Amino acid sequence: MVRSIQTIFQEFIEKKTLIFKDRNALTSDFTPDNIPHRDKEINTMASILAPSLKGGKPSNIFIYGMTGTGKTLVTKYVCSELERMSNQGTNQVKIIYINCKMKKTADTEYRLLAELSRILGQEVPITGLPTEQVYKIFFNVLDSTNWVVIIILDEIDSLVVKMGDDFLYNFTRINGELKKAKVSIIGITNDLHFIDILDPRVKSSLSEEELLFPPYNAIELQDILKQRVLLGLNPNIISEEVIPKCAALAAQEHGDARRALDLLRVAGEISERQNELKITEKHVDFALEKIDYDRIMESVKSLPKQTKSLLWSVIGLEEKGEKDIQTGDIYNTYEETCKQCALHPLTQRRVSDLISELDMMGIINARVISLGRYGRTREINMNTSPKIKDKMKEILKSGLMI
């Protein structure tokens, strides 16, 4: 007999979970009260921002480091403490946090300015006005009082991709026009090379102060995990090798605390689904496989059609038994694939760029080899299991409609 979905939900609510006390504490959205191993960064940021409590304009700060090194967490923490302190006293500091990756709030200059105005207390219609007018509205509400507004632009690289340098250039110079208010900008990026591609004028004003967040080592990651385990898991539920293992795997990647937390949480979910009483090393192994699988599938799904067509060609060649495929070999097959799915083939040079992109995403393995006096080429291999490859093919097939 089919159980009604009400029964399923009811059973879920009533079922005592053995593993999790508070699953939320092991997700990356959770904000812990305690931030180990970031004292130096917290103190530096606090000292740079402190003058705002007396009405001074703090330097703009440029924060960079690999993903999962605590940039967003630390910045939000320091800024919320600053705002709290200000609320107890002069009420002078206003913090605005924007994640530039969010489509709704930061896809165009219009949307971003509208969002900033809204946060400062002035609604703007979602569309319809000339951008210049939205800028004026923003400017007026910004300069309506004597406050210090600190604008955090997280994942600022995607802002520049969408709007170019000009927007930031004007934005970092806004203080020259303001009469009452003062603005400081905190730009955060996971992209270590981002600053090099910026216009030098934007670069110098954005990075009046620079703060690098180094990767965590395995021991530091263990401390971070231990703290979350106390909040998130029931006591005595993990075997002792689990935390060191999650920490070591994440340290190998690039000292990414998010990955360490994901591994632990997913390991917990797997053991719960299997109705086991403890999280063990075996569950971490499964978790690693599942996370990587999900990640690759997500990236394959979101590839542009041309890149999908190229990947399809690589898989096709490999399935014909070809090993160490060279760049030149792929091009013909790729042209064929394009014909099949009504795409206009790109030039060989562009295809070569796409190969590098796929390589960087970890979907294929493209090794540069020397052909002696004939120059250089790349040898391409898929570095995936048959299971992943089959799933990839399914996604590509429906994406390319072939």
Ligand X SMILES: Nc1ncnc2c1ncn2[C@@H]1O[C@H](COP(=O)(O)OP(=O)(O)O)[C@@H](O)[C@H]1O
Residue numbers at the binding site for ligand X (CB under 6 A)? 28, 32, 35-38, 65, 67-73, 190, 213, 224, 257-258, 261
**In DSSP terms, which residues pair with 182 in a beta bridge?**
148
**Toward ligand X, which CB reaches closer, 28 or 252?**
28
Instruction: State the Cα angle at 196 between 193 and 202, rounded to 5°.
Output: 125
Q: Which does 261 bind (CB under 5 to 8 A by kind): Mg ion, ligand X, none?
A: ligand X
Give the residue with the Cβ less far from ligand X, 35 or 119. Answer: 35
Provide CB contacts within 8 A for 63, sequence distance 6+: 71, 75, 186, 187, 188, 189, 210, 211, 212, 213
* DSSP code per residue over 313-329: HHHHHHHTT--SEEHHH
Residues in 82-141 that interact with Mg ion by CB under 5 A: none
Least Cβ distance, residue 319 to ligand X (angstroms) = 37
The entry of ligand X, Mg ion, none near residue 37 (CB within 5 to 8 angstroms by kind) is ligand X
Which position among 52, 69, 72, 117 is part of the footprint of Mg ion (CB under 5 A)? 72
136 binds, among Mg ion, ligand X, none (CB under 5 to 8 A by kind): none
Asked whether position 75 contacts Mg ion by CB under 5 A, the answer is no
CA distance 153 to 161: 14
Region of 54-62, 71-79, 224-232, 296-304 interacting with Mg ion (CB under 5 A) = 71-79
Long-range CB pairs of 294-301 (<8 Å, 24+ gap) are 296/362, 296/363, 296/384, 296/388, 296/392, 297/388, 297/391, 297/392, 297/395, 299/361, 299/363, 300/363, 300/392, 300/395, 300/396, 301/395, 301/399
Segment near Mg ion (CB under 5 A); pick from 67-75, 233-241, 263-271, 288-296: 67-75
Taking the alpha carbons at both ends of the chain, their separation in whole angstroms is 40
Nearer to ligand X, 243 or 364 (CB): 243
Count of residues near Mg ion by CB under 5 A? 1
193 vs 320, beta carbon nearer Mg ion: 193
Indicate whether 271 belongs to the interface with Mg ion (CB under 5 A): no
| 398 in Cβ contact with 303 (< 8 Å) | no
Query: Which of 244, 185, 254, 220 has the alpha carbon at shortest distance from 40?
Result: 220
Residue nearest to ligand X (CB): 70
C-beta nearest to Mg ion: residue: 72
What is residue 239's three-state secondary structure?
coil
Q: How far is the CB of 361 from ligand X (least distance, A)?
A: 18
The SS3 assignment for 64 reads strand
Of 187 and 399, CB closest to ligand X? 187
DSSP-based three-state secondary structure for 332 = helix
Which of Mg ion, ligand X, none does residue 378 bind to, with CB < 5 to 8 Å depending on kind?
Answer: none
Residue 172 in the binding site for Mg ion (CB under 5 A): no
Measured from the Cβ of residue 182, the count of other Cβ atoms closer than 10 Å reads 21
Q: Which stretch binds Mg ion (CB under 5 A): 66-74, 156-164, 304-312, 356-364?
A: 66-74
Q: Which does 36 bind (CB under 5 to 8 A by kind): Mg ion, ligand X, none?
A: ligand X
- Binding interface with Mg ion (CB under 5 A): 72
